[in-house]
């Protein structure tokens, strides 16, 4: 199972990772400018960087937006409702853009078990494994390709037990692959291969809100997801947050303001 040009990665003895040069087809060109928006109870902020100018894939000029839904509650989801406001505004700004919706609760993700781990090691070493391992690696590559084909990303993410939903973590564990979405430089650490792409993440939480005592929750949600996106090269990450949604008498007004924040965010992508 030989590696493709985008997957070349050497794992030397004593756990010394050595990566080959960047894959030209994965590069983007960008100019950065910082934008910040803040509003009560919700915040929309540019975590790093700013407007991006990029070279689209060879022979392709249409912008592709991938919306990853990490909530199983469908039309009752507040994070999805805010995300829809972003989508509407984005398509108004980019009428030729295409939208790909990946609903994780309606998608059968390949398992990340012993077979998947063996398949990954086969790909790294260039060895041939079993038929099950080959099928597992092909499923991984198919999902990675769908992810990397996008020019920009939208995530709708509720807080579950102070972190992200398990389906989103499952998805991240599948698409975070050496040589496909990141590489490791022994001197400089992790380097993302998805540079030139931007992301907007809609965060919601029932009880937690920034500045609350730890007895009411700690944010392992945005801290983790923002760091992961930057690790694979997606930068900047723009947050639209609706917090809290429980024990508040102004949810309807907060939801309206969050939708407006999402529409503003769409104009910065």
- What are the C-alpha distances in Å from 249 to residues 56, 96, 208, 255? 45, 40, 15, 12
Q: Write the secondary structure of 60-127 as one string of H (helix), E (strand) and C (coil).
A: CCCCEEEEEECCCCHHHCHHHHHHHHHHHHHHHHCCCCEEEEEEHHHCCCCCCCHHHHHHHHHHHHCC
Give the domain ranges of the chain. 5-266
The pLDDT value recorded for residue 4 is 52
**Binding site for FMN: residue ranges?**
77-79, 159-162
CATH of domain 5-266: 3.40.50.360
CA-derived radius of gyration, the chain? 19
The pLDDT value recorded for residue 35 is 33
The pLDDT value recorded for residue 63 is 95
Whole-angstrom distance between the N-terminal and C-terminal Cα of the chain? 38
Question: How far apart are alpha carbons 123 and 134 in whole angstroms?
Answer: 9
The pLDDT value recorded for residue 247 is 87
pLDDT tens-place values along the chain, 269 residues long: 454 544 444 333 333 333 333 333 333 333 223 232 323 333 344 343 333 323 334 445 789 999 999 999 988 999 999 999 999 999 999 999 999 999 999 999 999 999 999 999 998 899 989 999 999 999 999 999 999 999 999 999 999 999 999 999 999 999 999 999 999 999 999 999 999 999 999 999 999 999 999 999 999 999 999 999 999 999 999 999 999 999 888 999 999 999 999 999 999 98
**Binding site: residue ranges?**
77-79, 159-162
The pLDDT value recorded for residue 21 is 37
Question: How far apart are alpha carbons 187 and 224 in whole angstroms?
Answer: 23
Whole-structure pTM value: 0.79
- What are the C-alpha distances in Å from 41 to residues 174, 204, 245? 33, 11, 10
């Amino acid at each position: 199972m030989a590696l493709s040009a985008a997957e070349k990665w050497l794992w030397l003895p004593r756990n010394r990772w050595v990566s080959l040069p960047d894959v030209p087809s994965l590069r983007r060109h960008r100019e950065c400018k910082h934008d910040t928006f803040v509003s009560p109870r919700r915040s929309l902020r540019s975590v790093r960087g700013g407007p991006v100018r990029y070279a689209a894939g060879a022979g392709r000029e249409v912008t592709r937006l991938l919306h990853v839904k990490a909530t199983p509650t469908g039309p009752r989801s507040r994070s999805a409702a805010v995300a829809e406001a972003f989508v509407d505004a984005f398509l108004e700004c980019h009428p030729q853009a295409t939208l790909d919706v990946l609903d994780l609760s309606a998608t059968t993700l390949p398992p990340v078990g012993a077979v998947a781990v063996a398949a990954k090691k086969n790909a790294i070493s260039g060895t041939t494994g079993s038929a099950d391992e080959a099928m597992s690696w092909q499923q991984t590559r198919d999902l990675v390709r769908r992810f990397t084909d996008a020019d920009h990303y939208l995530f709708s993410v509720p807080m579950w037990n102070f972190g992200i939903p398990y389906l989103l973590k499952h998805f991240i564990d599948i698409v975070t692959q050496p040589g496909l979405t990141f590489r490791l430089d022994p001197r400089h650490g992790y380097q993302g291969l998805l540079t030139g792409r931007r992301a907007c993440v809609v965060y919601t939480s029932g009880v937690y809100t920034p500045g609350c005592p730890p007895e009411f929750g700690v944010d392992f949600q945005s801290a983790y997801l923002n760091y992961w996106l930057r690790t694979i090269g997606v930068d900047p990450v723009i947050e639209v947050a609706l917090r809290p949604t429980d024990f508040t008498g102004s949810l309807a007004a907060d939801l309206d303001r969050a939708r407006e924040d999402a529409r503003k965010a769409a104009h910065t992508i």
